Structure 1
Amino acid sequence: AAYREAIVNAVRRHNPETRPLEERDTYGKAFLQTMNLWEVDEAVRRFTFSPRFAKLAADLMGVEAVRLYHDQALFKEAGGGHTPWHQDQYYWPLGTDNTITLWMPLVDATELMGTMTFASQSHREGYLGAIEISDRSEEHFRQFVAERGFPLVSSGFLRAGDATFHSGWTLHCAPGNRTDRTREAMTIIYFQDGARLLEPDNKNRVQDLARWHPGQKPGELAASPLNPVLYRRKS
């Protein structure tokens, strides 16, 4: 990926995690998470604001325009733990089903490094409850996926610069990294322009509302300076 060096360097400068793997909880072992790098690095900003990526997101959701929710680098370290089953949108106080995440490896990534598995069609179930990513979400959603019989789709081997897209409601997980190399990945979250903010129903949505929508209140259009329109279809 052409932007790998810039993203990796930005993560090194801005990721706050200093604990060794063995001292972290399940979520902490899953990956190093560094958010909104576009705010602090101009090269990353060019990546995150790519109109080509944003157009793909708009096309996949069938909407006229998309805004940025946030970007985040997800680096699963060598020996890093599994990513439990979860729904991304549990964290987002957005009143729309039209949300989508681009996930792009910055290095060639095999399943041994922890590429993702999706429960296909699970997004149709919508919000499945206030269950944050944890050992509990792993147990609960693994059982739910098995009971509902959702087809499991693995992204498998991905070359650097390939990308997957998944809905904010799609249940997904990833195995641990069983290699000696960090699985470096960059993500961008998009949502439909015109979506309104929800009253947060869990502590994580309270935090997200404050961080990604500063100065805004539930019921308002989700359109803070941190949520620019990244693509609008020409009429």
Structure 2
Amino acid sequence: MLDLKLPELTDYKPLTDAQIAGFRKNGHVLIPNILDKDEVAAYRDVINEAANKHNTEKRKLEERDTYGKAFLQIMNLWEVDQQVKKFTLAKRMGKIAADLLGVENVRIYHDQALYKEPGGGFTPWHQDQYYWPVDTNNTVTMWMPLIDITNEMGMLTFASGSHQAGFVENVAISDESETMLERYIKEKGFALEQPAAMQAGDASWHYGWTLHSAPGNLSKDTVREVMTVIYIADGAHVTPPQNKHQENDRQRWLCGLEPGELVASKLNPLVL
């Protein structure tokens, strides 16, 4: 294990009124320079080491289905690595999440390292909150590249304003969700927005209901390294699962909490 004096990330980064208003109107916002170059380099090392250690995907890229080709996904690294825990529970990012949502405090739902390999496939249209059995719309995913990336490497694409529709289709991320949700987006006329590039330490933030996708990684030899953290407003309750994925999440990320109980298991600590 790397033995580093990691940056604390306990200071706050104030947001502008325009950033907050844009997030709430469009369902997503790009906030630059949340981590500086030295900070992101330090955390990139520990996140990559932990992800490599805990990655369980052994199949070759061509042997996987659409979901498997979209990215390598290593979840809840903070639970098994004390150095990654400093990133996932960082007050700097937690305060941004709370300010965007307009709440006093947020809890962690889970983190995910998402690595789109060279030649990796597209990420189908989906809503993150399809998977979450919670009774609040005050949920947000932070998506932070650990290296500089361009749109040819698999940049997120958002359907602006789609969060306002809430739950759309009871369908997991798949070829089916790509077809169904792309048709829905065209019918509703949502504008599509995608950054041209992001620097390491920038982060995009999107509501749990914001429809989003990503193209494949067209680069020949560069892995798109991204770390994500999902935040939920404090005070949310567990809802009866609406699909098998929500039941899996209830058991795993909510430690089996029953419907009606507060989202406050040992895996959902307060951040601020």
TM-score where L is the length of structure 1: 0.97
SS at match of 1:197: coil
Q: State the alpha-carbon separation in 2 of the partners of residues 18 and 7 from structure 1.
A: 19
SS at match of 2:171: coil
SS at match of 2:149: coil
1:176 lines up with 2:216 in the alignment: yes
1:94-133 to 2 correspondence within 5 Å?
Answer: 94-133=134-173
Partner of 1:60: 100
1:204 lines up with 2:260 in the alignment: no
Question: Which amino acid counterpart does residue 64 of structure 1 have in structure 2?
Answer: E
Deviation at 1:156, TM superposition (A): 2.3
Deviation at 1:94, TM superposition (A): 0.8
Deviation at 1:216, TM superposition (A): 1.2
Deviation at 1:40, TM superposition (A): 1.1
Q: State the alpha-carbon separation in 2 of the partners of residues 155 and 69 from structure 1.
A: 26
1:4 lines up with 2:44 in the alignment: yes
Identity of aligned residues (%): 58
Partner of 1:185: 226
Deviating above 4 A after TM superposition, structure 1's stretches of 4 or more consecutive aligned residues are none
Deviation at 1:155, TM superposition (A): 2.4
Kept after mapping to 2: 8 A contact 1:155/1:164: no
Partner of 2:179: 139
Partner of 2:263: 222
1:11-160 to 2 correspondence within 5 Å?
Answer: 11-160=51-200
Q: State the alpha-carbon separation in 2 of the partners of residues 72 and 128 from structure 1.
A: 24
Q: State the alpha-carbon separation in 1 of the partners of residues 106 and 195 from structure 2.
A: 25
Q: State the alpha-carbon separation in 2 of the partners of residues 110 and 151 from structure 1.
A: 20
Kept after mapping to 1: 8 A contact 2:138/2:207: yes
SS at match of 1:217: coil
How many residues end up aligned between the 2 structures? 231
Question: Which amino acid counterpart does residue 85 of structure 1 have in structure 2?
Answer: W
Gaps of 5+ in 2: 1-39
Q: State the alpha-carbon separation in 2 of the partners of residues 115 and 48 from structure 1.
A: 21
Kept after mapping to 1: 8 A contact 2:241/2:247: yes
TM-score where L is the length of structure 2: 0.84
Kept after mapping to 2: 8 A contact 1:196/1:221: yes
Q: State the alpha-carbon separation in 2 of the partners of residues 25 and 47 from structure 1.
A: 31
Gaps of 5+ in 1: none
Question: Which amino acid counterpart does residue 65 of structure 1 have in structure 2?
Answer: N
169-178 or 206-215, larger mean C-alpha shift: 206-215
Deviation at 1:9, TM superposition (A): 0.6
Q: State the alpha-carbon separation in 2 of the partners of residues 176 and 213 from structure 1.
A: 32
Q: State the alpha-carbon separation in 2 of the partners of residues 133 and 92 from structure 1.
A: 13
Question: Which amino acid counterpart does residue 231 of structure 2 have in structure 1?
Answer: Y
SS at match of 1:166: strand
Question: Which amino acid counterpart does residue 224 of structure 1 have in structure 2?
Answer: S
Q: State the alpha-carbon separation in 2 of the partners of residues 119 and 215 from structure 1.
A: 33
Q: State the alpha-carbon separation in 2 of the partners of residues 129 and 115 from structure 1.
A: 23
Q: State the alpha-carbon separation in 2 of the partners of residues 195 and 128 from structure 1.
A: 21
Kept after mapping to 1: 8 A contact 2:250/2:256: no
SS at match of 1:229: coil
Q: State the alpha-carbon separation in 1 of the partners of residues 242 and 186 from structure 2.
A: 27
Q: State the alpha-carbon separation in 2 of the partners of residues 214 and 228 from structure 1.
A: 12
SS at match of 1:104: strand
Deviation at 1:129, TM superposition (A): 2.3
1:86-128 Cα offsets, whole Å, 9 max, x none, are: 0000001111000000000001111010010000010000011
